[in-house]
Amino acid sequence: MASSQVAVGQYQIATPCANLVPPTIPGAEVLSFVAEERHNYSFPAFPLFYGPAVNDLSFCNVTLSLRHTDADDTVYVNIWLPLENWNGRYQATGGGGLAAGFGEPILAGQVGNGYVASSTDGGLTLDNTVDPNTGVWALKDDGTPNEALQLNLAWRSIHDMAVSSKDVIKQLYGSDPQYSYWHGCSQGGRQGYAAAAKYPHDFDGILATAPALDLPEMVPSDYWGTVVMRNSEIPPSCVFEEYQKAIIAKCDPLDGASDGLISSHEVLETCDFDPDTLVGKTFACGEGCVVPDPFTLRKKVPCKSTHDLTITTTHADIVRKILEGPRTAEDKQLWYGLATGADFGVHANVVLTENGTREVVPFVVAESWLKYFCLRNPSLDMTKMTPPEYEHGFEQSVTLLGPLWGNQQLELSGFKQAGGKLLTWFGMADEYINPRGMLRYREGLEKTFGGSDAVDEFQLLFLAPGAGHCMGGTGPNPVDPLGALVSWVEHGKAPDVLPASTRTEAGVEITRDLCRYPKTLVYRGGDANKASSFSCSDVGGGSGHDEL
């Protein structure tokens, strides 16, 4: 070992951080490159990526910008490399919504876990001037589609990040990473599938949680409830809360255990709830009892108003349309509606204003997608969108954006041949993305590759009863899915179950061992809060999923 090398666990610092040089990135030029050591760094825990709170962290902070030779873009990549206790692994991280990456909040915990970690903005911040989730980056100044940036988010920025990260890893440590991983949820989960399809040798293992597959259909579907209410009436939020409770009360026992969690994916697809059954019910309605929260969607606060309310046929009709999902004027279903038993807070986010009126707060990603990607009209007043205009926007999404964003781009043969492993877990009460789309995609994989066992060689799916989007919900979330993926990749131990846990507001711990699809949890008796009271069963097997 040369005297200039410094030990980093079993690895050595071969080149001081300050002496790193810009990487070579095919198809792009590096515009700027800064590498500097950071010490005594601290950051709070970031639950979304299972990132622990970190204190006194030391790492080499690499920030670079690049421009593709065929585009007028400026893409930023951040790479954090531990100066102590590197575990020999590289972890690329994904984004969410219309953002390609999250940067510091995600990187901190993963570096604290010993990984080299990286994140990219994909150029979507327009040189750090806009929030990507506004969607304004999808159009150029002249109103034409910014095809370069859309390609960046679709998949190109993933590869740029991997290439540049592996280059500086080799420089700093004098060694390639032993294993490379992708970690993302929602848009980040879709990016994981895109990485597997387009760059099958970039990552040994991919953790893709709640992937936003079928993006051209799925994203507009999250705006359907907003259009329905704005063209009918806006019920108080308590109506949707009452309906969620009623749906769970009817569908939950069908899986064999009345535990507040819908555990069977077959029940998820087949439980038939009639909204008219609540018409005429009078109950105490609390309004203004929740406010937006970045980590749990909404959090409870003291109610601004409480009064008796009777559910009407109009309320029932609105709920029915949200549950069914978007339809054409001819009653053709365009995509799935809200998942059975999920929180209505995305599809029907009704708030009580200070002056006592009710307003719908639409999911910004769905609104941005329709406005900038599909209809390509920055001046469009989305508050006045009619059902026919929505239908047109949906059709534009499929027609114009399907060729780039559709599932036909997610062909996984190359990833299987490369020996890659892809692990997905999905909350069955996901409020943003109906898991039926994931089941439909999985069924397509089984048809392509010759059955469940063949797909399980490279892609595993676990469904989490009651869990929300990426995290949260009322059901247990996986405790260490990345660890399960690492064990599968590095030791050939494919997980049969994913241990999961949550704690209720009353402090009661609920555990489950999530089953590898197509198996489903079956109650065997005992304490319904304990994983030991359930087992994984083949009963029913995989069901056929409706074609849309």
469 is catalytic: yes
Annotated active-site residue in 180, 252, 469, 533: 469
The residue count for the chain: 548
Annotated active-site residue in 165, 186, 264, 533: 186
Annotated active-site residue in 202, 204, 255, 430: 430
397-404 contacts, C-beta under 8 A, 24 or more apart: 397/216, 397/217, 397/219, 397/220, 397/369, 397/370, 397/373, 398/216, 398/217, 400/373, 400/374, 401/215, 401/216, 401/373, 401/374, 402/216, 404/150, 404/151, 404/154
42 is catalytic: no
32 is catalytic: no
CA dist., res. 466 & res. 98, Å (int): 26
**Cβ pair 382, 370 in contact under 8 A:** yes
Upstream peptide bond of 211 is cis (omega within 30 degrees of 0): no
CA dist., res. 407 & res. 399, Å (int): 13
Residue 502, phi then psi, degrees to nearest 5: -155, 170
**Strand spans (E) along 219-311:** 282-287, 290-293, 297-300, 305-310
**Closest C-alpha among 72, 70, 61, 63 to residue 26:** 70
- The per-residue b/e assignment along 22-33, b for 16 or more CB within 10 angstroms, e otherwise, is bbebeebebeeb
Amino acid at 154: A
Q: Enumerate the active-site residues.
A: 186, 430, 469
